[in-house]
C-alpha cells in the first residue's frame, strides 16, 4: 500500500467496503472474516455492519465479538437497516433518530466508528446532519442509480468524493460508492476517469461460489489499475476540492 497520510489530489485510488448484514450467520461470517484476513488484491476491506436487532432476537454478545474482530482487520462503519434485518429502507418513524441511537449504541460498547452507509442507499438531510454532527464520513451516495429504487425515492448521487453542504451550515464528507461487484466483474472500470473507485459487495455474496471468485478476480484487477487504500485513510487524508449542496445531490 502506498503511503496515504496525504491522499494526493489527482491520484488514482481504490477502496473496498462490504455491507455486513448477516454477521450472526456462521456460514456468511466465516467467509467474510476469511476474506478480510486474506485481503484480496491487497485491500483492507471496510466492514460496514448492521447492528443487531434485539426485536428480531439477534445475539448482541456474539455480534460484539465478531464486530471487534472485523474492526481489527479493517475500517469499521455503521450500515443501518431501518425497517428490519432484511428490509433496509425506512418505512416510517424518524430515520435520523435511528442512526443516532445506533451510533450511540456502538460508542457505548467501545467501538470507534466514523463511517456510515445507509441501507438501501437511503439518505435524507436530517440523517446527513446527524452524521456530520457525529463526525462521520458517509458512503451512501452512489455513482450509479440502483435499479430497484422507485423514481423519486430519496437517495444521493455523486461520482467522486466531495463535501456535502447542509442547510444547517454543517458539511459532511461524502465518499461515494462507485462500483458494485457486478460492475467491476464486467470490467466497467475502463471508462471510469475519476480519482477514487469505491467498490462494494454484500457479505451474503460470499455464499455464492461464482460471486466469490468474481470478487477475488475483480479486486486483483482493481489493484493493478489503482493504488490500494482504504476508507479510513480516505477519511483522514482526503480533502476534496469539490463541494455540493445536499439539495443538488438528491438523485
In the complex, the smallest distance separating the C-beta of residue 201 from Zn ion, rounded to whole angstroms, is 11
- Residue 142 phi, psi (nearest 5): -125, 150
Site for Zn ion in 87-116 (CB under 5 A): 88
The 114-143 contact track toward Zn ion, x by CB under 5 A, reads: -----x------------------------
The SS3 assignment for 176 reads: coil
In the complex, the smallest distance separating the C-beta of residue 84 from Zn ion, rounded to whole angstroms, is 11
In the complex, the smallest distance separating the C-beta of residue 154 from Zn ion, rounded to whole angstroms, is 16
Length of the chain: 251
Q: Does 18 bind Zn ion (CB under 5 A)?
A: no
- Please give the Cα distance from 215 to 226 (Å, whole number): 16
Site stretch for Zn ion (CB under 5 A), options 25-33, 85-93, 139-147, 237-245: 85-93
- Please give the Cα distance from 80 to 95 (Å, whole number): 9
Cβ–Cβ under 8 Å, residues 194 and 159: yes
Locate 62 and state its grid cell.
Answer: 456474539
Question: Which CB sits closer to Zn ion, 7 or 67?
Answer: 67
Question: Which CB sits closer to Zn ion, 19 or 211?
Answer: 19
Question: Which CB sits closer to Zn ion, 122 or 246?
Answer: 122
Q: Does 19 bind Zn ion (CB under 5 A)?
A: yes
Residues in contact with 153: Cβ distance below 8 Å, sequence separation at least 6, in sequence order:
89
- Please give the Cα distance from 18 to 37 (Å, whole number): 13
List contacts with Zn ion (CB under 5 A).
19, 21, 88, 119
Amino acid at each position: 500500500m502506498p503511503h496515504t497520510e496525504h491522499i494526493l489530489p489527482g491520484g488514482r485510488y481504490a477502496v473496498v467496503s462490504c455491507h455486513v448484514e448477516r454477521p450472526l450467520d456462521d456460514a456468511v461470517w466465516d467467509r467474510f472474516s476469511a476474506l478480510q484476513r486474506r485481503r484480496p488484491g491487497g485491500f483492507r476491506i471496510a466492514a460496514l455492519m448492521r447492528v443487531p436487532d434485539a426485536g428480531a432476537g439477534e445475539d448482541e454478545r456474539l455480534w460484539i465479538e465478531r464486530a471487534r474482530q472485523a474492526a481489527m482487520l479493517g475500517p469499521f462503519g455503521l450500515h443501518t437497516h431501518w425497517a428490519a434485518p432484511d428490509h433496509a429502507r425506512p418505512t416510517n418513524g424518524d430515520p435520523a433518530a435511528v442512526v443516532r441511537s445506533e451510533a450511540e449504541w456502538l460508542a457505548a460498547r467501545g467501538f470507534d466508528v466514523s463511517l456510515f452507509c445507509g441501507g438501501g442507499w437511503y439518505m435524507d438531510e436530517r440523517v446527513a446532519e446527524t452524521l456530520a454532527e457525529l463526525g462521520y464520513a458517509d458512503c451512501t451516495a452512489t455513482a450509479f442509480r440502483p435499479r430497484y429504487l422507485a423514481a423519486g425515492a430519496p437517495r444521493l448521487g455523486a461520482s467522486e468524493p466531495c463535501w456535502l453542504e447542509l442547510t444547517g451550515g454543517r458539511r459532511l464528507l461524502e465518499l461515494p460508492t462507485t462500483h458494485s461487484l457486478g460492475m467491476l466483474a464486467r470490467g466497467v472500470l475502463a471508462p471510469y476517469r475519476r480519482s477514487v473507485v469505491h467498490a462494494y459487495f454484500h457479505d451474503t455474496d460470499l455464499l455464492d461460489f461464482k460471486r466469490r471468485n468474481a470478487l477475488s478476480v475483480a479486486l486483483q484487477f482493481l489493484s493493478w489499475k489503482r493504488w490500494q487504500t482504504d476508507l479510513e485513510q480516505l477519511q483522514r487524508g482526503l480533502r476534496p476540492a469539490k463541494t455540493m449542496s445536499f439539495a443538488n445531490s438528491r438523485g
